[in-house]
Chain A
Amino acid sequence: MKILVPVKRVLDYNVKARVRPDGSGVDLANAKMSMNPFDEIAVEEAVRLKEKGLANEIVAVSCGTTGSQETLRTALAIGADRAVLVQTDADLQPLAVAKLLKALVDRERPMLTILGKQAIDGDAGQTGQMLAALAGLPQATFASEVRIDGDLLEVTREVDTGRETLRMRLPAIVTTDLRLNEPRFVTLPNVMKARKKPIDIVTPADLGVDTAVRLRTINVAEPPVRGAGVKVPDVATLVEMLRHEARIL
């Protein structure tokens, strides 16, 4: 079984986003970039399925600039076998990425595509579901447990009311939630090995996909700042304040 794992290069989750003064976006110049944490969970899950003998090939894919090769190397170091970079300098939105991935799904014919539930830059949370819709495939979003038995997939999902389990036939699309697994640390020998693994480069034009921007960003601003309030010395003062100043109790 082949698994496709789309990964995105994003501002590292430990770095605070700085808004450009001209309101044109978030300043990424010289900022530390990393793999989207939810995608890292997706790569880890694919590798675990391979280690259990349930998969025999893992293909990582990223859509973006040449810088995304670095992210693909990370995926290869975690355990992906080969990678595809859909190279473009264009501003890619989820619908465009989903179309690019659909073209790759048609080409690679994976039984399972597993990707993060959202990227921590745009926070859109759309790509997996859009890919599923375009490919006419079943989807299981927000996965916290993935079980495969033959061509049947059972996924437990984290939903607002608790947990929900769905069953579907492969091929299918799964998006990962936080508690699906804890990604392993990448070791130096695996980083070295990853350097020798192949990265195939294609363009959106090769895949016949128009990536034109559909949602124009007019402005990006800092959120309104919530000022710090006061420190209270003890519980009695806190209750007094809540009752008489905030009038909340």
Chain B
Amino acid sequence: MTSLVVAEHDNIEINPATLHLVTAARACASAVHLLVAGCNARSAADAAARIAGVEKVILADGASLGEGLAENLAAQVLAIAADYSHILFAATSNGKSVAPRVAAQLDVTQISEIIRVAGDDTFERPIYAGNAVATVKSGDPIKVITVRITAFEPAQALGGNAGVAHIAAVADTGLSCFVRREVSKSDRPDLTAAPMVVAGGRGLASTENFSNVLLPLADKLGAALGASRAAVDAGYAPNDWQIGQTGKVVAPQLYIAVGISGAIQHLAGMKDSKVIVAINKDGEAPIFGVADYGLEADLFTAVPELVVALSEAP
């Protein structure tokens, strides 16, 4: 049995999510191959070949794969799918768009957002926004899977020495075309990979307060910035900051929730963080139910105080 990992990358570098995928793939099958489908993606493929535990890297390089269009990427995976027992995608916006297309065309079920591999055909996955965990068993010959990245440790980025095999890129299906991408520019660590996350909720009350109150704390810690759905809906923070059932799932070493009440759907996205700190003036807020350290206080005084306290020597 061999697993195929569909790498997340930007043609130059491998996205850290891929390292977690490799760990999940090794739990499914003894051998792991990794597909890098992109355009001018040679350096991403070379980086993939150095990941410990990867036996072979397959590089499909062509214009049709440059923008990650789901229809073309699915066709590329389908071109080699028959050789594999498991095909794993990250549960990212890309992976979630492509994996179901692959599964449907193989006429197999897809197993979404697994958090544990219990056997080569048995997996655990959260349902009902993480309020229940289902153990599911697939009877299909090929298991098409999306993986909740935070549930698996990353493989070593270095130490492997896989060969890179080239295959022809699929022709453009012509079904959809890329128009533009508005990437939120930031020097901060990536939200899903950052060891520390500072997240703000509706309690911040404005975009200005996100910059004036939350930003200095994130800067002090070198943390990524996140937000609750309420804060994003209110326009205080951009959509790609959203943490929760329908946004990003994070599990950093330290998660500081500021002015976040802790709706079920938000908790689903952060409750696997190692240490959770909550700062909220409502002592009854559900966020305190999962916080290791809760501070019942007005965030507008507590957060600046915290920034000062962190600047002082221990």
Give the contact stretch, choosing among B43-51, B123-131, B198-206.
Answer: B123-131
Q: In the complex, are the beta carbons of A139 and B70 less than 8 A apart?
A: yes
Interface membership of B2, Cβ < 8 A = no
Contacts known (A126-B110, A248-B275); A120 close to B129, Cβ less than 8 A = yes
Q: In the complex, are the beta carbons of B233 and A179 less than 8 A apart?
A: yes
Question: In the complex, A243 Cα to B64 Cα: how many Å?
Answer: 51
Q: In the complex, are the beta carbons of A162 and B112 less than 8 A apart?
A: no
Q: In the complex, are the beta carbons of B245 and A216 less than 8 A apart?
A: no
Closest B residue by C-beta to A14? B264
Tell me, rounded to whole Å, the shortest Cβ–Cβ distance linking B183 to chain A.
5
Give the contact stretch, choosing among A49-57, A65-73, A223-231.
Answer: A223-231
Closest A residue by C-beta to B314? A243
Question: In the complex, A120 Cα to B292 Cα: how many Å?
Answer: 28
Interface membership of B40, Cβ < 8 A = no
Question: In the complex, A130 Cα to B178 Cα: how many Å?
Answer: 21
Out of A128, A144, A165, A231, name the residue touching B180 (CB < 8 Å): A165
Contacts known (A126-B110, A239-B310); A230 close to B293, Cβ less than 8 A = yes
Out of A118, A144, A160, A168, name the residue touching B176 (CB < 8 Å): A168
Out of A163, A172, A216, A222, name the residue touching B182 (CB < 8 Å): A163
Question: In the complex, A226 Cα to B290 Cα: how many Å?
Answer: 6
Tell me, rounded to whole Å, the shortest Cβ–Cβ distance linking A176 to chain B.
11
Q: In the complex, are the beta carbons of A167 and B176 less than 8 A apart?
A: yes
Q: In the complex, are the beta carbons of B306 and A223 less than 8 A apart?
A: no
Interface membership of A200, Cβ < 8 A = no
How many interface residues does B have (CB within 8 Å)? Answer: 87
Q: In the complex, are the beta carbons of A16 and B176 less than 8 A apart?
A: no
Tell me, rounded to whole Å, the shortest Cβ–Cβ distance linking B174 to chain A.
9
Interface membership of A187, Cβ < 8 A = no
Q: In the complex, are the beta carbons of A166 and B132 less than 8 A apart?
A: no
Interface membership of A124, Cβ < 8 A = yes
Q: In the complex, are the beta carbons of B181 and A26 less than 8 A apart?
A: no
How many interface residues does A have (CB within 8 Å)? Answer: 77
Q: In the complex, are the beta carbons of B131 and A236 less than 8 A apart?
A: no
Q: In the complex, are the beta carbons of A230 and B96 less than 8 A apart?
A: no
Interface membership of A188, Cβ < 8 A = no
Interface membership of A3, Cβ < 8 A = no
Tell me, rounded to whole Å, the shortest Cβ–Cβ distance linking B93 to chain A.
4
Tell me, rounded to whole Å, the shortest Cβ–Cβ distance linking B265 to chain A.
8
Out of A165, A172, A215, A221, name the residue touching B136 (CB < 8 Å): A215
Q: In the complex, are the beta carbons of A235 and B109 less than 8 A apart?
A: no
Contacts known (A133-B104, A166-B176); A11 close to B128, Cβ less than 8 A = yes
Q: In the complex, are the beta carbons of A162 and B70 less than 8 A apart?
A: no
Closest B residue by C-beta to A99? B104
* Residues of chain A lying within 8 A (CB to CB) of residue B12: none
Q: In the complex, are the beta carbons of A214 and B240 less than 8 A apart?
A: no
Interface centre among A121, A138, A221 (most CB of B within 10 A): A138
Q: In the complex, are the beta carbons of B253 and A248 less than 8 A apart?
A: yes
* Residues of chain A lying within 8 A (CB to CB) of residue B102: 133
Out of B105, B113, B127, B240, name the residue touching A162 (CB < 8 Å): B240
Q: In the complex, are the beta carbons of B93 and A159 less than 8 A apart?
A: yes
Question: In the complex, A118 Cα to B97 Cα: how many Å?
Answer: 11
Out of B133, B138, B289, name the residue touching A220 (CB < 8 Å): B133
Give the contact stretch, choosing among B55-63, B207-215, B294-302.
Answer: B294-302
Out of A133, A164, A167, A226, name the residue touching B105 (CB < 8 Å): A133
Tell me, rounded to whole Å, the shortest Cβ–Cβ distance linking A142 to chain B.
6
Question: In the complex, A164 Cα to B177 Cα: how many Å?
Answer: 11
Contacts known (A98-B104, A239-B309, A241-B293); A125 close to B96, Cβ less than 8 A = yes
* Residues of chain B lying within 8 A (CB to CB) of residue A159: 93-94, 181, 240
* Residues of chain A lying within 8 A (CB to CB) of residue B99: 126, 129
Contacts known (A26-B132, A231-B296); A130 close to B101, Cβ less than 8 A = yes
Tell me, rounded to whole Å, the shortest Cβ–Cβ distance linking B92 to chain A.
5
Question: In the complex, A230 Cα to B192 Cα: how many Å?
Answer: 26
**Interface residues in chain B, defined as those with a beta carbon under 8 Å from any beta carbon in chain A:** 69-71, 74, 92-94, 96-105, 107-113, 122, 125-140, 175-184, 192, 221, 229, 232-233, 238-240, 245-246, 248, 253-254, 264, 271, 274-277, 283, 288-297, 302, 305-306, 309-310, 314
- Interface pairs (11), CB distance under 8 Å: A125-B112, A130-B103, A139-B97, A160-B94, A160-B192, A215-B109, A215-B111, A215-B140, A217-B134, A219-B134, A232-B294
